[in-house]
Amino acid sequence: MILNYKNSRIHYTVEGQGNTIVLLHGFLESVAMWQDLVADFSKNNQVICIDLLGHGQTDCIGYIHTMETMADAVLAVIDHLNIEKAHVVGHSMGGYVALALAEKQPELFNGLCLMNSTYEADDTARQLIRTRASEMAQQNYEVLVKMSFANLFAPESKATYNVAYEKALQLALQTPLQGYIAAQEGMKLRPHRFDIFKSLNCKKLIIIGKKDRLIASEQILEQIKDTDIAFVEFSEGHMSYIENKSDLSYSLLRFIEK
């Protein structure tokens, strides 16, 4: 389905009936990443998947897509569908967008899951890496995407899940250059949102991959230990929907339905 938004297209899908689950993909991903999980979730729920700005079949609307700008686009779909309450699951960058959405409209949330994601802002070193990546993207985009994508997986996972890895990589390569750069620049600007997450009046879950090199898991676990934020730790890396698929489906269904 397509929603016209600021003279641009937002692509989204809706499957099933019941309580609403909103799934937000990560950087270099699209609604296609949720395909297997939607089959499980839509048996008893209404599942909405949204292509974020500059990804999948959704257009770019600028040269910097802040997390707030992406959240506004998500909210446009939610309002269009007359959704009042939802569980929201955000993978990686999708988690950043979900937190921006929580700051704008906290009453929407029945639950928020940060899946292989964080509430922390980029530190200076990470911001510099994003700046360099945006510069490199303009020189040799395909090589950069392949390199960036490889870093999302635990080293052995690329061999163990080779077919799924290659399929996800081909989808990543379809992300337009403008979408890549706009998202990188937007992620650099995102603020620290631990207080937003902590104070949100709903169920909260963080999913962590033990071998995830992008998330400071020990620091996060220390910060959340005296809060009502639950966590699940899986054995592999950043791409739980491939590397820990059955564990992920089980954990998310428990989070949504309990």
Per-residue pLDDT of 200-239, as tens digits, reads 999 999 999 999 988 988 899 999 999 999 999 999 999 9
What is the residue-wise DSSP string for 106-161?
GGGEEEEEEES--SPPP-HHHHHHHHHHHHHHTT-HHHHHHHHHHTTS-TTHHHHT
Average pLDDT over residues 105-125: 97
Provide the CATH number for the domain around residue 253. Answer: 3.40.50.1820
Provide the angle, in degrees to the nearest 10, between the axes of the packed helices 67-80 and 93-104: 70
pLDDT at 120: 96
Sign of CA dihedral 142, 168, 221, 113: positive
**Single pTM value for the model:** 0.97
Q: How many domains does the chain have?
A: 1
**Mean pLDDT over each residue of the chain, to the nearest integer:** 95
pLDDT at 7: 94
**pLDDT range class, residue 77, cuts 50, 70, 90:** very high
pLDDT at 49: 98
Check pLDDT > 90 for residue 247: yes
**pLDDT range class, residue 198, cuts 50, 70, 90:** very high
Average pLDDT over residues 239-249: 95
Average pLDDT over residues 42-49: 96
Check pLDDT > 80 for residue 258: no
Say how far apart CA 169 and CA 115 lie, in whole Å: 19
pLDDT at 234: 95
Check pLDDT > 80 for residue 133: yes
Among 24, 25, 27, which Cα is nearest to 148's?
27
- Residue 193 three-state SS: coil
The range of the structural domain enclosing residue 85 comes to 2-257
Among 226, 224, 228, which Cα is nearest to 204's?
228
Check pLDDT > 90 for residue 150: no
pLDDT at 152: 87
pLDDT, tens digit, 9 for 90 and up, residues 13-42: 999 999 999 999 999 999 999 999 999 999
* Residue type at 200 in one-letter notation: L
pLDDT at 245: 94
